[in-house]
Amino acid sequence: MYDFKYENETDIRFGSNHIDAELHDAVAQFGSNVLLTYGGGSIKKSGLYDRVVKTLDGLNVTELSGIEPNPKIESVREGQKLAKENDIDVILAVGGGSVIDASKVIGSAAFYEGDPWELVLDPSKRKKIGQLPLVDILTLSATGTENNYGSVISNMETNQKLGTMGPHRPSVSFLDPELTFSVSPWQTAAGSIDIFSHLTEQYFDQGKDADVTDGLIEGIYRAVIKWAPVALKEPKNYDARANLMWASTMALNGLARLGKQNGWTVHPIEHELSAYYDITHGVGLGILTPRWMKFILNDKNLPKFVRFARNVWGITEPDDRLAAQEAIQATYNWVKSLDVPTTLPGVGIDVDDNFVVMANSAVKVGHLENAFEPLTASDVEHLFRESMTVAGFED
């Protein structure tokens, strides 16, 4: 078990009865000039926008709307400008991972003279300049951004989609599962797979004996596996939405990495797909994950897969290798059961024009030499090719 430091300052308000009563003070504690950020307007359709604006009565609210999925650096630039012009004290982000991710970087860009893409490329600059306080209202259970330092920002000019860490977690996060009742089946599935993948990136490591953390991960895995299909069938099932929401937070607030090593694999590979083809992140992860598992299953990695099989999937098959294979198939089956494509052609990627350059970039950007099972560019290219058909999973 490795040493660690951990500190988590986010004030979590979980449930349906917090926003109207508490949002005003949660925001106003940081000042009266508020930058309200959101996405494409679904919060207007749902009535959430009106609820939020009503609670902000008396504060000076500037708005930045139109933040897209896979948030673009252009939105950050716009936010930077608004933050400076309006002497913003606090950002209120209402939306999913994209809105919150962009708002975190805007929070630093507000103190920066140059182009904010430089902050994405060099997070040490953000540590120096700081970050505006961020209050958020989460509307999609997926990325865990509501309780961590991270953002993922895309630059379509350079075909880059980069993770970047800021100096602060959100100050206050309102997590109301009811706000996700209206999330589409597609986004519900993608978000659930994203959570599953965050767990996977941290669970499969070469560290040893971090059993409290591995046990935590196994518990979250089981909750996501159980409740994602329920949320698809019954979009207004509160307990399904609540478990997915809390799972998204707990999967990536740092607790699931404590005492372990941390070389991520599938996320950096998928980021290439999203950067080149703008596909839904979670769906890309669902396509890649079972292929990756199958590819790296070997004698050295077998014990971790056996534990995954027994503690996550409840597989009782006594033969270890068969149990591991069953768990990988179960992972594929679970993704497929969420009614999303399980191949690259299924998301519109029919030709392999970019596989070599994407594979090289994934290895370099993702430092895949440090992964649970180190991968070369030709390994990653192989995973892309394997993802072109259902071979090996639906024979």
Contacting positions for a second copy (CB under 8 A): 1-18, 208-223, 226-227, 238-239, 242-243, 246-247, 250, 255, 258-259, 316
CB 36 within 8 A of CB 56: yes
Q: Which of 218, 379 has the CB closer to a second copy?
A: 218
CB 155, min distance to a second copy, A: 34
CB 157, min distance to a second copy, A: 40
CB 219, min distance to a second copy, A: 2
Contacts of 269 by beta carbon, 8 Å cutoff, 6+ apart: 288, 292, 362, 366, 368, 380, 383
CB 234, min distance to a second copy, A: 13
Q: Which of 70, 213 has the CB closer to a second copy?
A: 213
Cβ count within 10 A of residue 38: 25
Q: Tokens for 99? A: 């809105």
Beta strand 150-155 pairing with 160-165: antiparallel
Q: Which of 6, 54 has the CB closer to a second copy?
A: 6
Q: Among candidates 66, 122, 70, 61, which has minimal Cα distance to 91?
A: 61
User: Looking at the DSSP assignment, which residues form a beta bridge with residue 36?
Assistant: 63, 92
Q: Which of 337, 389 has the CB closer to a second copy?
A: 337
CB 121, min distance to a second copy, A: 29
CB 19 within 8 A of CB 55: yes
CB 337, min distance to a second copy, A: 18
* Sign of the CA dihedral with 320 first, then 309, 260, and 292 last: positive
Beta strand 150-155 pairing with 134-138: unpaired
CB 149 within 8 A of CB 8: no
Taking only Cα atoms into account, the Rg of the chain, rounded to an integer number of angstroms, comes to 21
Please give the Cα distance from 384 to 252 (Å, whole number).
26
Q: Which of 14, 111 has the CB closer to a second copy?
A: 14
CB 282 within 8 A of CB 271: no
CB 10, min distance to a second copy, A: 7
Please give the Cα distance from 28 to 17 (Å, whole number).
19
Q: Which of 11, 278 has the CB closer to a second copy?
A: 11
CB 243, min distance to a second copy, A: 5
Q: Which of 189, 216 has the CB closer to a second copy?
A: 216
CB 223, min distance to a second copy, A: 4
Q: Which of 2, 277 has the CB closer to a second copy?
A: 2
Q: Supply the DSSP string of 324-387, one letter for each residue.
A: HHHHHHHHHHHHHHTT---STGGGT----TTHHHHHHHHHHHTTGGGSSS---HHHHHHHHHHT
DSSP 47: S
Q: Which of 220, 287 has the CB closer to a second copy?
A: 220
